[in-house]
Amino acid sequence: DVKVTQSSRYLVKRTGEKVFLECVQDMDHENMFWYRQDPGLGLRLIYFSYDVKMKEKGDIPEGYSVSREKKERFSLILESASTNQTSMYLCASSPSGLTSGGHTDTQYFGPGTRLTVL
């Protein structure tokens, strides 16, 4: 079974702190994703990465950065946390669609990190 793990289930930080959210997958997937989920807004893509050291902005990248130094690990960084970044953060991974006929492939999600910024 594919396993995607996230470093914390719950996290409480203060405004202005630097926050690191870690995600690890064990299936050698090329793609990794960070989403945030808020009531009434569904899942929104923050950043994704299709290879080590490669990244692309999603729909809401402002206030976030990412790092992918190893294939299995994708980190989301909040440089200076703000209260409007209080949310559920979900990490996902998938094999490259380019190796499966060009269409998007199944994404496997972690359990999520509920971040509260005070």
Partner 1 sequence: LAKTTQPISMDSYEGQEVNITCSHNNIATNDYITWYQQFPSQGPRFIIQGYKTKVTNEVASLFIPADRKSSTLSLPRVSLSDTAVYYCLVGAYNTDKLIFGTGTRLQVFP
Q: How many CB atoms lie within 10 A of CB 93?
A: 28
Q: Taking CB under 8 A as the rule, does residue 8 contact partner 1? A: no
- Is 74 within 8 Å of 91 (Cβ atoms)? yes
**Residue among 12, 41, 52, 54 that touches partner 1 (CB under 8 A):** 41
Q: 15 or 96, CB closer to partner 1?
A: 96
Binding mask 59-98 for partner 1 (x = CB under 8 A): -------------------------------xxx-x-xxx
**Residue among 13, 22, 50, 71 that touches partner 1 (CB under 8 A):** 50
DSSP string computed for the chain: ---EEES-SEEEE-TT--EEEEEEESS--SEEEEEEEETTTEEEEEEEESSTT--EE-S--TT-EEEEEETTEEEEEESS--GGG-EEEEEEEE--GGGTTTSPPPPEE---EEEEE-
In angstroms, give the least distance from the CB of 71 to partner 1: 15
Q: Taking CB under 8 A as the rule, does residue 118 contact partner 1? A: no
Q: Taking CB under 8 A as the rule, does residue 11 contact partner 1? A: no
Name the residues that contact partner 1, by CB under 8 A: 4, 31, 35, 40-45, 48, 50, 58, 90-92, 94, 96-98, 102-112
